[in-house]
Structure 1
């Protein structure tokens, strides 16, 4: 199955971190479910210089870019106005 690296950047307004924290548990629950389905491989929060969450990095396995785009649109961080921008890159996890 093809893999993709997702680099998401949060909004930068004063309420951005609050919105993230409000939907974080729903997002994490989704990632647990996606991990069981072998879609979510690994990922986590990106941190700014102050150590606050300001984005995300995920590696996922899905058949093609259009499926990835649809998968992202279903995420609570998109629906909750947490992620302002998302970059999708082809990726391959090293077999080490």
Structure 2
């Protein structure tokens, strides 16, 4: 099943992010499962990071929550809020994500 993780930084997220970036990036390269899509959420000016967005393929919501909770940005206090939503891609989308846990 696909899940979207919408992760919003806390008040001091910008200050904490640089110290944890290398560990966070290393996890994204080695995490199981690897996210299908991910990237930073930016402020309207496109300059400041305000969070992160992921699409992951896991068996259930508990696995999605555990995946997010294991990230250094979560354990290190960068993300204040993590919203988890089940996601179904449209058959009409121009790009189709590979799904194993359907």
Q: TM-score range by the shorter chain?
A: 0.7 to 0.9
TM-score, normalisation: structure 1: 0.84
Contact 1:39–1:62 under 8 Å retained in 2 = no
Structure 2: 5+ residue runs without aligned partners? 98-102
Which has the larger helix fraction? 1
Larger Rg: 2
- Count of aligned pairs between the two proteins: 91
Specify the alignment match of 2:38 in structure 1. Answer: 43
**CA-CA distance at 1:72 after TM superposition:** 1.3
Specify the alignment match of 1:10 in structure 2. Answer: 9
CA RMSD of aligned residues (A): 1.7
Question: CA separation in 2, counterparts of 1:31 and 1:91?
Answer: 20
4+ runs of 1 displaced by more than 6 Å? none
Question: CA separation in 1, counterparts of 2:66 and 2:27?
Answer: 14
Closer, same or farther: CA 28–92 of 1 in aligned 2, 3 Å? farther
Which has the larger strand fraction? 1
Structure 1: 5+ residue runs without aligned partners? none
Residue number among 30, 33, 38 corresponding to 1:33 in the alignment:
30
TM-score, normalisation: structure 2: 0.80
